[in-house]
Amino acid sequence: MELPEVEVMRRDLEKEVVGRRIKDVDVRPQRNAMRIIRRHARRKEFSDRLAGTKITKIDRRGKYVVLFLDDGDALVVHFGMSGQFVRGTRRQPLPQHTHVVLEFAQGGDLRYIDPRTFGEMFVTKSDELGKVKELDHIAIDPLEDTFTWQEFSYELARRGTKLKPLLMDQRFVSGLGNIYSDEVLFAAGLRHDRSSDSLSSQEVRRLYRAMRETLQDAVRFRGTTLDDEAYVDLFGKPGEFQSELKVYGRRGLPCRRCRTPIDVVKIAGRNSYFCPQCQS
Ligand SMILES: [Zn+2]
């Protein structure tokens, strides 16, 4: 999941689970379920803090989702490489790799599924969220209104590194991975290997706008589901942004803007797609 998919998840959770009371929490018996709640010593310690509470609000901080509870606690979730929530009911069998099930007093349950178990969830006091170091220095959030192009410009000039790895650096921008960094650079007309301190102010504005618009569009289309179907939404449905992708995964296909074949290079071992004509 990159940022748009996490935001789609946050919005769905807001509609689906706010106001629901958690009746029971089941941390599944397999050993790697403990990896998901690794900040807690025991299953019971985690479930006891959640059982009986009501979910009051859902927030997102970068790629973290925070579920606020009516007793002053908060459940913090990071989906890692392959984690996701899916809604279910007791009658539906648990999918493979389900590690935690939050059963509601009314209205089914919420399952946390994660094949690779890099994701995690933990409970903390909501007034101590500021002490959680991963939530403390969250970088620029392209979906937040608080981030201005002047700030962005200052940060780009200060770094002086190649654009693609910089956009994927989670300390710089939250939530851009391999897919959206390629799409943002195409939308901005900039090459992956341009140095961030070489941009004109017009190019900075283009990149700023491309970042916001690409991610907003991706949220509108409910995220990107590639052929591996690694991402599905809260209801198990794939996103639709994959059919909107301009460069990612389109090696050799004609550019949607100029018909030049899309080119690919390896950056840090992963394919990076761009149009040699439209991006400079
Ligand atoms: Zn092109």
pLDDT tens digits along 196-255: 999 999 999 999 999 999 999 999 999 999 988 789 999 999 999 999 999 999 999 999
Give the model's pLDDT for residue 149. Answer: 87
CA of 155 to the centre of ligand 1 (A): 28
Measured between its terminal Cα atoms, the distance across the chain in Å is: 28
Q: Do residues 49 and 85 touch, judged by C-beta distance below 8 A?
A: no
CA of 190 to the centre of ligand 1 (A): 11
CA of 99 to the centre of ligand 1 (A): 44
CA dihedral of residues 242, 278, 212, 146 (deg, nearest 10): 150
CA of 139 to the centre of ligand 1 (A): 31
Task: Note the helical H segments in 170-220.
Answer: 178-188, 201-220
| pTM (two decimals) | 0.95
CA of 246 to the centre of ligand 1 (A): 9
CA of 254 to the centre of ligand 1 (A): 8
- Which residues does the chain have with pLDDT short of 70? none
Give the model's pLDDT for residue 269. Answer: 87
CA of 163 to the centre of ligand 1 (A): 18
Provide the 3-class DSSP secondary structure of residue 4.
helix
CA of 270 to the centre of ligand 1 (A): 21
CA of 276 to the centre of ligand 1 (A): 7
CA dihedral of residues 239, 244, 248, 252 (deg, nearest 10): 130
Give the model's pLDDT for residue 168. Answer: 95
CA of 17 to the centre of ligand 1 (A): 43
CA of 247 to the centre of ligand 1 (A): 9
